[in-house]
Every structure is written in structure tokens, then in C-alpha cells.
Amino acid sequence: MRFTLSSLALSACVSLAAAAPSKTAVKQETRSIDEIYAAAVAEGGVVTLWHGGDEKAQQNSLKTAFETRFPKMTLNLTVDLSKYHDTNIDSQIAANNVYVDSVILQTLHDYPRWKQQGVLLNYAPLNFDKVYPEFKDADAAYTGLFIISWGLAANLNKTSTVPTSFQDFTKPEYKDKLVLTYPNDDDAVLYQFEIILKKFGTKWFDALLANNPRWVRGTQTPGTILGTANTSSVATFTGSYSFASRGSVSYALPTDANFVSWPQTGAILKKAPHPEGAKLLHSFMLSDEYAKGGGWSVRSDVAAPTGAKKILQQPGTDATAFAKFMADRASVERARFFYETKLGTAQGLSPLIDNL
């Protein structure tokens, strides 16, 4: 069995919320959402958001919800892989030319670093006090805004059942019928593979490879492929979990090893050109009307979805673990290169999906 790196990362690193707080207490936003809205309109009525993701239209629902609720606002939204966004943010900071207001990224290790550099606005949005302490910075430099989790998925038009375990994906009936995201191209997928290999060893990975999966870039990509009519792919475990079916694609949670979940985390840049717009966006995303959207919430007071428990009590996952894994970059890189020696470098364009 290959020695996996997850346990080392978990013991060696701190969580998102563990950075030492400053001596100056940050006051939570006291204005109403409509008062923040008025300030954002007076500022120019614009907010520029860079959001992690794999498809350009992946966060269109957020844009629609925000602009519908605040019709005098424009949300300029750019979706790309978080590992590309953070590099470009670093370039803006270095050039003293920040033109992005808000960042919402998967690269959780960036936020403590940016806080230490003093480039984040300490802002506690509405309902910040209700966010689990594990998911936010004590000084409000950044906070989790919503939960993402991986799950098992299958197109029930092409197979009779959704797999219920990671072991299912090694069964002969799935040969040439799997679509999976390269673990060496996405750290959250990488962590999922590390969890599985820690449980089952490299024999599981060898059996998975024997089923000849289709490897793609982006975690939205497998779900998009599964939903197409002419694909031979029927199942995946490297995409977001949904509590409801999406078209012909249905979902399950694994029964034999933990699934990955984490708070997708946001921050406002200190030199943002539209800070009031960004404050409005973050307060909206933690509001009752948006936060109670049916999935797991970063807020401790929001009820769990039907049939589930609140995220920090949910069996089969640890929503604080991914941040700890991400913080140990040396371990992440060693894990990444293990899979790259088996799969080669990630092939294909991302976030554009033009190879379905």
C-alpha cells in the first residue's frame, strides 16, 4: 500500500479559522441589506467577482439571483480554475493594479497568505456571526460562503443504479464507462483520491485504471458529459453532489470511505475598486434568502437538507480537513506527481468544454 499524505497534512497544518486574531475586534455589518445596496449603487452599481470553477456559465445562477434581487447592480463574473485566478490576483497585487473586488476560490491556502500580506479587507458581512467558526477567519479577512462536496453520480438512462461505493467503480461492468477528473489537475479531486487510497491502497487504483476511465479536466465536466445523450460514460465520483437529480443524472454518497467537502471561501481585496458592491455580494450570499438554498450551509443556524445532518455532523465527511490538506503544499505536490506518473499530464482545455 502506498503511503498516502492525507494524515500527515491533517496533523501538520491548521484550519481556515486558526490564524491568530488581531487585537482589534472587527465589527459585524450593522446596516440592512437595502442600506448596503444603496451604498453599492452610489459607488457605481458594479461588483467584479472572480469565482473558481470549470465552465464559464457555472455560476450564472448566482449572477441571476444577485441581479434579480438588486436590479440596479451589475455582477461582472469570471469563472476559471481557482489555481489560475489566484496567480492573476497575485499579479494584480504585485503591480498595485487591483481591479477585482471579490474572490471566491477553492484554493483555501491562499487566504491566510493574503491576510498575512495585508491585502484583504477585514469585513464581517451580515450573518457572519452565524457562520461556523471553523469556516471563517477570526478577523473577518475571509469567510466560507457555501459548501461544496463531491458525490457519486450516474446517468440512470444508461445504467440501472447509481454506484454507492468507491469500490463499485472497479467492477467490470464499468469498464470504458467512467468519466473522471484528473486528480493531478484539481486539488479537491486529488484529496478525494488520497482518502480512497488511504483506505484501500494502490490495488484499488490499479483496478480503477483497468476499467479505462475517460480522464477530463474540470469537476463540472463529468456531470456535463454524463448528461449528454451520445456519451458512453455512465458514472463518476469527481463532481459536485446534489440532493436532487439533474435531468437524467442522479447522485449518492459513498458508503465505504469519506467524501470530500469544504467551505468555498470568499474575500474582498483591500484595494477593490467597488468594496461596497463586494460587501453587498457577500452579505447576500450569507442571507436567509440565498443561504437556505437546499444544500449544506456554512451557517450553523440553517437546517440540514432532508435526510442529512448539518455539515459538521454529517457522517462520512470532514468539512474542515480539506483546508488542512491544502495548507501543506509540499505534501500536495508529492501526491500530485504520484498520479501524474500514472496518468500523464492533464490533457484538454479548461474551463471550456469543447471535447465532449
* pLDDT tens for each residue of 110-135: 999 999 999 999 999 999 999 999 99
Confidence of residue 16 (pLDDT cuts 50, 70, 90): low
CA atoms within 13 A of residue 97's CA, in its CB half-sphere: 4
For 88-109, what is the mean pLDDT?
97
Backbone phi and psi for residue 225, each to the nearest 5 degrees, phi listed first: -65, -45
For 67-89, what is the mean pLDDT?
96
With contact defined as beta carbons under 8 Å apart, do 181 and 233 qualify? no
For 32-39, what is the mean pLDDT?
98
> C-alpha grid cell for residue 350?
479548461
Indicate if the pLDDT at residue 12 is higher than 80.
Answer: no
Residues contacting residue 352 through CB under 8 Å, at least 6 positions apart: 55, 56
- The pLDDT, as a whole number, for residue 9 is 39
Confidence of residue 20 (pLDDT cuts 50, 70, 90): low
- The pLDDT, as a whole number, for residue 118 is 98
* pLDDT tens for each residue of 250-275: 999 999 999 999 999 999 999 999 99
CATH of domain 14-147+262-310: 3.40.190.10
pTM score of the predicted model: 0.92
Superfamily covering domain 150-260+327-343? Periplasmic binding protein-like II (3.40.190.10)
User: Considering only 33-47, 102-116, 224-238, 324-338, which range has the smallest mean pLDDT?
Assistant: 224-238
Instruction: Give the residue extent of every domain in the chain.
Output: 14-147+262-310, 150-260+327-343
